[in-house]
Amino acid sequence: MSSVVVKSPVQGIVIALQAEPGRPVRPGHELMVVESMKMEVPVEAPGAGQVMAWLVAVGDSVAEGEPLLRFEHGAAPAAPAPAASSQPAGPRPDLLALQARRAALTDTSRPETVARRHAAGGRTVRENLADLLDPGSFTEYGALAVAAQRTRRPLAELMAQTPADGLVTGIGTVNAGTVGPERARCAVMAYDYSVLAGTQGVFNHMKSDRLLDLAERLSLPVVLFAEGGGGRPGDVDWPIVAGLDCTTFARWAALAGRVPRVGIVAGRCFAGNAALLGCSDVIIATESASIGMGGPAMIEGGGLGRVAPEAVGPVSVLGPIGVIDLRVPDEAAAVAAAKRYLAYFQGDLPPGRAADQAVLRDAVPLNRNALYDPRAILRTVADEDSVMELRAEFGTGIITALARIEGRTIAVAASHSRHLAGALDAPACDKLARFMQLADAFGLPLVTLVDTPGFMVGPASEATAMVRHAARLFVNAAALRVPVFSVVLRRGYGLGAMALTAGHFHAPVAIAAWPTAEFGAMGLEGAVRLGFRKELEAAGEGREALFQQLLAQAAERGQALNMASHLEIDDVIDPAETRAWLARGLGAVAGVPLPPRRQMLDTW
């Protein structure tokens, strides 16, 4: 037999002696308990044997390493009968409480609410998120919040009727199967219209601020589901007066140009929800959407009369004036569009298939005044099924789209000769200027397909503040960091053509023309009439013949091959070689670091 002194493992107070001296114990038997910093630290038998003597008593303060007892090693006692468990039978109460709270968050806990949503043709917030995010990828933040109304409503009622305080936030992945999990990370912020009409409450704003802070720190794209009615006056638990020190809107706006931000809206979106939506990079709206900075209640409260929610800002009005980037039939289509949009900002993909490029040789008619379809040209040049057009209803003199060439994401702007012969009016200038900013913010090379007689002119055009709108293109182009590639398909006239080529013809990394292209400081017909007015007036009956002769000479002088021979453009290419020409150029600039972003004072 041998004896040892057992010492205290911690500093604390002896609160229990649990072994009878002289009675055999097994190894690891709990001999006594020392409380330290409110934690109960057991002192266990160092082997089989028995306590010979206590050196301390209950209530004594002991230091770490202080002797507690003498222990003598010896034979172990017979195995005791199993002790009764201190744990209650069945699941623990704390786990049952948690499971009940989590169950209240599911759609199955609110069958009537879900049925009403479905009957109206909509989906629940959690159905939309399940569709958007990759299975099993969602980590929710702040799910257990309820409305800040505990002083006026029972907690059980708030748990049942205000789950997550009407805002579901978290982090997951989108398109991980295509781009890989690291590039697929995404934050989501989804207002739940079935909870207090999707309004923004106290804890609701805390949740959004927490998520936006994470999005900034982790450089996460954010998808916002913005259906809802703005501020919530019923939250009375918090000592606020007006709440105008809320930081959510500034935090969301501060992410502009730092991470991609997608706004999705179906149904009603007013006031604060509309303010958030309007700050998004791209707005995807369903046909049922109504969007306005004030809803019917605010309109009536301002003495402006009664209006139906559907009349405040329908997509039929907002699409043509540039509010909506993508107009889709329903929420399922909106989620699909969001996933597709995000993919452009998740990195390159393997090279895609391409259509027969030979058809481009006849895409622009020989008749220099005939119309053609620039969208068909874009679809042919780009990888198959890779083109997503933005703001198709607005600024129709220019087409703006995201696309891929050989798997690389590009931003494309193409003149649309079916509107004002491709002249740039004020809406087209604004559309292209913002599209330049989008491309530059996220490092997307810009490709322009040019066919323009220049900026739109005339008294009616100037009445739209055309001077400032046109100037936006030059100011934005001068701040571009991303490489630009330009292809002149037909007309390349004047300042408008310069604006479409990032400010001047040598601003792009490369500029080429199709054989159909023609160039001039202004439209050739106008140039001839202005430059040769005296000669034409003196020609009498031969005026038209002289005009056609002078026009032919101007067209010959401005022909693409002559421009290239004077080095005003880099090359003239076979239209069928356009895709390959662009792919080589994009490959040449791939991986080249961009300079720091430049400050730009917008003109409008």
Q: Assign residue 526 a region (left: φ > 0; alpha: ψ between -120 and 50; beta: otherwise).
A: alpha
The Cα–Cα gap between 313 and 322 comes to 12
Class of domain 113-343: alpha beta
Partnered with residue 390 across adjacent β-strands are 400
Contacts of 482 (CB under 8 A, 6+ apart): 439, 440, 443, 444, 445, 446, 594
Helix axes 466-478, 426-441, angle to 10 degrees: 20
Give me the percent of the chain exceeding a pLDDT of 90: 80
Closest CA to 273 of 303, 311, 313: 313
Residue 143 Cα to chain centre, angstroms: 22
Are the beta carbons of 286 and 328 closer than 8 angstroms? yes
Residue 82 pLDDT > 80 = no
Half-sphere exposure of 281 (CA within 13 A, CB side): 24
Percent of the chain whose predicted confidence (pLDDT) is above 70: 98
**How many C-alpha atoms does 357 have within 13 Å on its Cβ side?**
16
301 φ/ψ angles, rounded to the nearest 5 degrees: -65, -25
CATH number at 357-517+559-589? 3.90.226.10
How much is the pLDDT for 80?
Answer: 61
Contact 469, 430 (CB under 8 A): yes
Mean pLDDT of 328-347: 98
- In whole angstroms, give the CA distance from residue 312 to residue 289: 10
Beta carbons within 8 Å of 233's beta carbon, 6+ residues apart: none
Say whether pLDDT at 397 is over 90. Answer: yes
Query: Do 113-343 and 357-517+559-589 agree at the fold level?
Result: yes
- The yes-or-no verdict on residue 86 having pLDDT over 80 is no
Sorted by sequence, the CB contacts under 8 Å of residue 295 that are 6+ apart come out as 229, 230, 268, 270, 271, 309, 312
Q: Is residue 509 within 8 Å of residue 570, measured between CB atoms? A: no
pLDDT for 87: 59
pLDDT higher than threshold 80 for residue 378: yes
- Residue-level pLDDT at 1: 65
Q: Which pLDDT belongs to residue 421?
A: 93
152-196 pLDDT, tens digit each: 999 989 998 999 999 999 999 999 999 999 999 999 999 999 999
At residue 374, the 3 state secondary structure works out as helix
Under the banding of pLDDT at 50, 70 and 90, the label for residue 326 is very high
What is the average per-residue pLDDT within 546-569? 89
Asked if 400 and 446 touch (Cβ cutoff 8 Å), the reply is no
Q: What is the pLDDT of residues 239-275, one digit of tens each?
A: 887 888 889 999 999 999 999 999 999 999 999 999 9
Among 199, 136, 201, which residue's Cα sits nearest to residue 173? 136
Residues 523 and 495: beta-carbon distance below 8 Å:
no
CA 14 to chain CA centroid, nearest Å: 59
Task: Check: CB of residue 169 under 8 Å from CB of residue 141.
Answer: yes
Helix ranges (H only) for 331-487 are: 331-343, 374-381, 426-441, 459-462, 466-478
- What does pTM read for this prediction? 0.89
Tell me: pLDDT of 81 over 70.
no
More confident: 309 or 135: 135
Q: What is the pLDDT of residue 250?
A: 95
Separation CA 447–CA 402 (nearest Å): 10
Q: Where are the domains of the chain?
A: 3-73, 113-343, 357-517+559-589, 524-558
| Poorest-pLDDT segment among 113-117, 423-427, 485-489, 546-550 | 546-550
Compute and round to an integer the Cα radius of gyration of the chain: 36
When pLDDT is cut at 50, 70 and 90, the band that residue 494 belongs to is very high
Q: Write down the pLDDT at residue 555.
A: 81
* C-beta separation of 48 from 74 below 8 A: yes
Round to the nearest angstrom and report the end-to-end CA distance of the chain.
Answer: 95
Tokens representing residue 350 in the block: 């393997």
Q: Is 186 helix (H, G, I), strand (E, B) or coil?
A: strand
Structure tokens at 294: 């004030």
Q: Residue 364: is its pLDDT beyond 90?
A: yes
State which amino acid sits at residue 450: V
Contact 236, 203 (CB under 8 A): no
Residue type present at position 490: R
- For residue 111, pLDDT over 70 is answered with yes
Neighbour tally for 424: CB within 10 Å: 30
Average pLDDT over residues 285-304: 91
pLDDT tens per residue across span 268-277: 999 999 999 9
Q: Mean of the per-residue pLDDT values for the chain? A: 93
Q: If you ran DSSP here, which 8-state letter would residue 311 be given? A: G
Instruction: Give me 382's structure tokens.
Output: 């780009």
For the stretch 388-405, what's the b/e string if a residue is b when 16 or more beta carbons lie within 10 angstroms of its beta carbon? bbbbbbbbbbbbbbbbbb
How far from the centroid of its chain's Cα atoms is residue 82's Cα?
59
- The model's pLDDT over 339-349, given as tens digits with 9 standing for 90+, comes to 999 999 999 99
User: Architecture of domain 3-73 in CATH?
Assistant: Beta Barrel (2.40)
